[in-house]
Structure 1
Amino acid sequence: MSLPCAVIVGRPNVGKSSLFNRVLGRRAAVVADREGVTRDRHYQDAEWAGKRFRIVDTGGFMPKSDGPLDDQVRKQITTALEEASVVVFVLDGRTGVTAQDQDFARLVLRGRRPVLLAVNKSEKRSAALEAAEAWSLGMGEPHPVSALTGFGIQDMLDVLVQMLPDSGPDGAPRDVLRLAVLGRPNAGKSTLVNALLGEDRVVTSEKAGTTRDAIDTELEYKEHRVILTDTAGLRKKARVDDEVEHFANLRALEAIRRSQVCVLLVDATLSIGEQDFRICQKVQEAGRGLFIVLNKWDAVDAGDKTFDHMVKEIHHRNPELQAVPFLAVSAMSGKRVTKVLEMAMKVKENLERILGRENVIEFFNQTLEIQSHPSTSRGPVNLSRCCQVLVDPVALAFETSHPERVLPSYVRFLRRRAVEHFDLMGVPVRIWFRSRFQLRTDEELESYMEGHREGFQEWNDAEWEEEGPALTPVLGAENE
């Protein structure tokens, strides 16, 4: 990775995640007023004074082990320190320097990395005096800050960017795939992420709920930059009775919105459940690409269910998933896990497809030959033309004099036809109807896609959602 890396470390509950969020200017990490909320390394890109860098949140350092999870958290911190360009060592200004701080400081200094000492929770005017005892750690000048109020943050960042080395030539934005790994608790999401990365990047356990946050990690795959987001297991709202788990659910839902493609991980020994269907609906409503991975396939009795039989059973329960690709893997053994990235790239390509004006005309004519819109009680519905109007996801607009008469069943038919005709597996194809619209050329779509990859759009897709029966029905929902 070419961007310089600032790693935030400290003992539990000194405010590392709050400082992480303050630097980013948004709530990117789950925080709570108790120890042990953060367990994994959490990466985000940041910028200050024109300098781009990567900032990393870590779990609280515990010198003595209270179990295997503490051992894994400590391993995560050690790995992060090895990656650091600068270490941001955080103290609690209210409690002062503790023996645990001193032990951890000695460990950090042995790594011979530049250290910026941040004394958090320094809301008072006397903060500079209270931070003075931090000099004893041998880490240089203490910087009193408050992640809660923002006090001292700008000064601290000014110092930090001066300490960071310049980024390499790959620091400029590139074509990126953001892939979110979703699923119910203990489906094996973190194990899959670790298998894809080839390292113990994320803390795993047989206990459900080990992952508390949406954790971003980068990898390179066939000259593409992939940002993997491991998420907390999504439960039904009625089963979420813990504040940390509540925010973890919110972060997982936000990860869907930030992603381009989502993979739903299902425990093949348990098959798919209603909560999995709800997750699929959230993904498709957000316009993100989707495919489903049946994990722990090596634990399925070969004489019990074949892959084709299980997929057919899922399609029978939810016909809308017939446009979603399936894979079978074993994240624990690593069997077929590279197929996950291959499928993610294929879905990404489908999302960004420019179908071609002539191809869309051919699709339109063939579709009307197969089935025109049936007459309704309010009169006929005649479709006069069709045009691709958006990419990522693909959206098709149909011109008709009476958009309000279009039947939901015909919208579903058009979506299935588009997926089959153009081989758009994994794409939640949008179908819109308008009484009149301006045709968009392939060149306009290419220009849009180029701008979209750079983080902006050349026209506002919201204009297509304001009128008429807008989005294609998702998972049986009625067309409003």
Structure 2
Amino acid sequence: MKPIVAIVGRPNVGKSTLFNRLLGHRRAIVDDLPGVTRDRNYATITRFDKPFILIDTGGFEPVTEDRLLQQMREQSSLAMEEADVIIFMMDARSGLTPADIEVATMLRRVKKPIFYVVNKVDGEKLENESAEFYSLGIERLHTISAEHNRGVIDLMEDLLDVFPEADAGIPDDEITRIAVVGRPNVGKSSLVNRLLGFERMVANPTAGTTRDSVDTLFTCNKKNYLLIDTAGIRRKGKTTEKLEKYSVVDSLRSIERADVVLVVLDAEEGVTEQDERIAGYVHEAGRGCVFVVNKWDTLEKDNSTLGVYVDKVRTGFKYLAYAPIVFVSAKTGQRISKIMTTVDEVMGQYIHRVTTSDLNRVFSEATDAHHAPLAHGRRVKFYFATQVATRPPSFVIFTNQPDSIHFSYERYLVNRFREAFGFDGVPIRLIFRGREKNGAARHPLAKRERH
């Protein structure tokens, strides 16, 4: 296992800025408002001699009556328990605070390497004033400016010295990446907590509690998964706050990183225009999709309720007619296990590769049974097909008129491939190409032209 490093400290001391600095690019949302990061945010750092897992945490307030701050404190405590090394960050501009002293007192009971870091030290004056932090009774203090990369290299050199040698970890191709997306307050974080079996995410009735996309690596039935919880995606007109716009962009990036996306719908509210827009992002990204209808326990049901709701989903998401639907309750745990079973089925199709002989047999049967419409008064000829990629299954079809294939005929071929090869839960991409102009030999499995 790679060593785990947790960054903890009061709100707004620069934890996320250091997280992004060590990662090498912007991942955690950074803003001058306190409490921007609310969950534990994980990243694997591979830029240094020894790879490690870095955890960014929400602000740690030792004493607070605010429920959200209490949950953030709980998340920070869990991160400290999980970590092998702890970076305790303080703020030179604010000076030593009673909250810093209380956190430092707690850390004295932790039997792990702890690095005491004073951030925002941008000049000699603040460097000298930082001496007051030695009153905590510590032997070594690192003064840095995470924003300007001052002192960060020295901190990293000392940090790497305490790491044990890391193993290779889990290969990327053995991990299924699952993104959880949806409108604000449809129960995404509660669903993540239920899937993991513990309070991984801050779940709060206030819409927009999750702002960063948060990664959690876990194992289920001896299979490895990376679960990505994302911020709620609002309509563009409603994303007025700068922070919320960052969150939406981060959620869209998380879709791009995923193999399978769980699109969470609210059973009480039904399918909305924004749900359709979010699912459209998933479809355009070419990711496997599972519709998760949450809060199913809140509806009064009769024998027709399920069928009626399935029809609503299919009508609202016509372009995702292939995506399976799971009805669950994150609150009660109803049918939660069905989600992972469905994810495995979709992932199996997502990475499936068809033999060239089987592909061209089905392709020939399809084009013989239903000829493509004439294009510009000319007959469309097809030569052969080959699968060029998985994630999602992608096929190149060679033809004499690659730019003239009508979308309805393309849809017909996609449906034939779905039916023949079991691709009933994932998108399929078809790419039409012309033959080589140099007269290259025809593929041995190509159909002979009929006169």
Matched, 1:226 2:225: yes
Q: Deviations over 1:402-457 (max 9, x none)?
A: 11211112122222222222111332211110112699x9xxxxxxxxxxxxxxxx
Q: 1:418 to 1:173 in 2, by over 3 A?
A: closer
Q: 1:299 to 1:111 in 2, by over 3 A?
A: same
> What corresponds to 2:237 in structure 1?
238
Q: 1:169 to 1:30 in 2, by over 3 A?
A: closer
Distance 1:205 1:92 in 2: 28
Cα offset for 1:347?
1.5
> What corresponds to 1:204 in structure 2?
203
> What corresponds to 1:69 in structure 2?
68
Q: Normalising by the residue count of structure 2, what TM-score does the alignment of the two structures yield? A: 0.93
Cα offset for 1:379?
2.6
Alignment map for 1:181-196 (pairs within 5 Å):
181-196=180-195
Distance 2:92 2:341 in 1: 48
Q: Say whether the 8 Å CA contact 2:271–2:312 is kept in structure 1.
A: no
Count of residue pairs brought into register by the alignment: 439
Structure 1: gaps (5+ residues): 442-480
Distance 2:173 2:56 in 1: 24
Q: 1:171 to 1:311 in 2, by over 3 A?
A: closer
> What corresponds to 2:264 in structure 1?
265
Match of 2:215, as an amino acid?
D
> What corresponds to 1:349 in structure 2?
348
Q: Deviations over 1:158-206 (max 9, x none)?
A: 1111122333564665611111000011111000100011111101112
Q: Say whether the 8 Å CA contact 1:212–1:231 is kept in structure 2.
A: yes
- 3-state SS, counterpart of residue 212 of structure 1: coil
Cα offset for 1:224?
2.0
Cα offset for 1:305?
5.1
Distance 2:173 2:319 in 1: 33
- 3-state SS, counterpart of residue 202 of structure 2: coil
Q: Deviations over 1:292-316 (max 9, x none)?
A: 1111111121128522321222223
Matched, 1:328 2:327: yes
Q: Normalising by the residue count of structure 1, what TM-score does the alignment of the two structures yield? A: 0.87
Distance 2:174 2:49 in 1: 21
Match of 1:297, as an amino acid?
W
The alignment-based identity, stated in percent, is: 36
Cα offset for 1:63?
2.2
Distance 1:83 1:322 in 2: 42
Q: Say whether the 8 Å CA contact 1:115–1:139 is kept in structure 2.
A: no
Q: Deviations over 1:4-54 (max 9, x none)?
A: 110000001100011111110111111110111111111111124321111
Distance 2:301 2:8 in 1: 47
- 3-state SS, counterpart of residue 89 of structure 1: strand
Q: Say whether the 8 Å CA contact 1:49–1:158 is kept in structure 2.
A: no
Q: Say whether the 8 Å CA contact 1:323–1:419 is kept in structure 2.
A: no
> What corresponds to 2:118 in structure 1?
119
Distance 1:247 1:335 in 2: 33
Worse overlay, 127-136 or 235-244:
127-136
- 3-state SS, counterpart of residue 56 of structure 1: strand
> What corresponds to 1:379 in structure 2?
378
> What corresponds to 1:314 in structure 2?
313
Cα offset for 1:287?
1.9
Q: Say whether the 8 Å CA contact 1:85–1:165 is kept in structure 2.
A: no
> What corresponds to 2:12 in structure 1?
13
Q: Deviations over 1:277-332 (max 9, x none)?
A: 21122112122111111111111211285223212222233322211111111111
Distance 1:152 1:300 in 2: 57
Q: 1:222 to 1:436 in 2, by over 3 A?
A: farther
> What corresponds to 1:466 in structure 2?
none
> What corresponds to 1:464 in structure 2?
none
Match of 1:79, as an amino acid?
L
Larger Rg: 2
Cα offset for 1:374?
1.4
> What corresponds to 2:2 in structure 1?
3
Tell me the C-alpha RMSD between the 2 structures: 1.9
Distance 2:34 2:100 in 1: 15
Q: Say whether the 8 Å CA contact 1:116–1:140 is kept in structure 2.
A: no
Alignment map for 1:137-156 (pairs within 5 Å):
137-156=136-155
